[in-house]
Structure formats: structure tokens, C-alpha cells
Amino acid sequence: MHLSVDLHYPAGLEDVTRMLASEAFVRWRAQRTGGPQSLVDLADVTGSLDEGFSVVVRRTLPTDQIPGHLRAFVGNALEIRQAEVWEPAAGDSRRGTVSLEITGAPVRMTGTVTLEALPDGGTRQSYEGELKATVPLFAAAVEEAAAGAVRATLSSEEQAGVEWLTAP
């Protein structure tokens, strides 16, 4: 299943890039977007803004966003591993790869992530990728449920980013 999600931030490309490369922001965002029952097992940023950087987050979330009839496949919690590898800046944009794995589901998304400066001074972050489930007979239903959970998580991450960028 193809997944496409755009996020918008009220700040320039450099400020958004700096935010995404901040380990403090990455940990805070992961804790904030996972809800009160989530656990952040890892939030790590390596590299530099100039040469490119990697962001790895591993967290455990409750399965309340998964439809009841599919929870038998995933249990009471989902371990989500997300890795983004950002290339060095290239003009008014930045590009990277993203890999998101929901262990125990089993669901995996791979694709690209881009940052693009917008004419209004803001920045758009776009995710494009393929989401695949390897559950015989129920793959389409699991992919649809996982896509909804990924969209909801990215929307929460967008809200967290806007809050971070606009905090006094």
C-alpha cells in the first residue's frame, strides 16, 4: 500500500532541520506523541547538520489504534522502530530515507522523506513510501489499520513540531 503524508511547519528550512536533528526534540516528541502508556526505549541522533544526520527512535505503544478484530495479531503493545537518514542540505530542500517497522504486526514502511522551503516562509515535510504487512489472508486489513496509525502518529509529530517551534 502506498502512503503519502505531508506535514507543515511555521518556520524556515534551517530551523526545522535543526529541530529534527535535536536529540532533545526527538525524545520529547516521541514521549509526547505516544500517549501516557507509551515507552520510549531509544531516541538517538548522530551526524551533523552540514554532513547529514540520522535519527533513530524505538518506542512501545498500546494497540488502542488497531481495530479489535486485528489485535489478536499484534498483542497488547506495538514496538515501533523508526529511522530517518538525512542527506546534506541541497538549496531549498533536504532529502532522506525513512524506515518504519512495527514489530509483532509485522508491518514495515520504507520510503523517502523530504523537507522543502515554502514561499510563505514555512517548511513542508513529506513522507512517501510503501507500507507492507506480511500477514497471510489479512495483509490488506492490517496494512489499512497500520496506515491509519502511521498517519495519526505523523500528525501528532507535526503538532509537536509546531508547538516546539512556536514555544516562547
pTM: 0.83
- Nearest residue to 105 (alpha-carbon basis) of 64, 63, 58, 42: 63
Mean pLDDT of 35-39: 62
| Mean per-residue pLDDT of the chain | 85
Runs of H (alpha helix) within 79-167: 139-166
Helix or strand or coil: residue 105? coil
Residues 39-67: tens digit of each pLDDT: 777 889 999 999 999 999 988 766 665 56
- Nearest residue to 4 (alpha-carbon basis) of 131, 161, 164: 131
Mean pLDDT of 94-108: 86
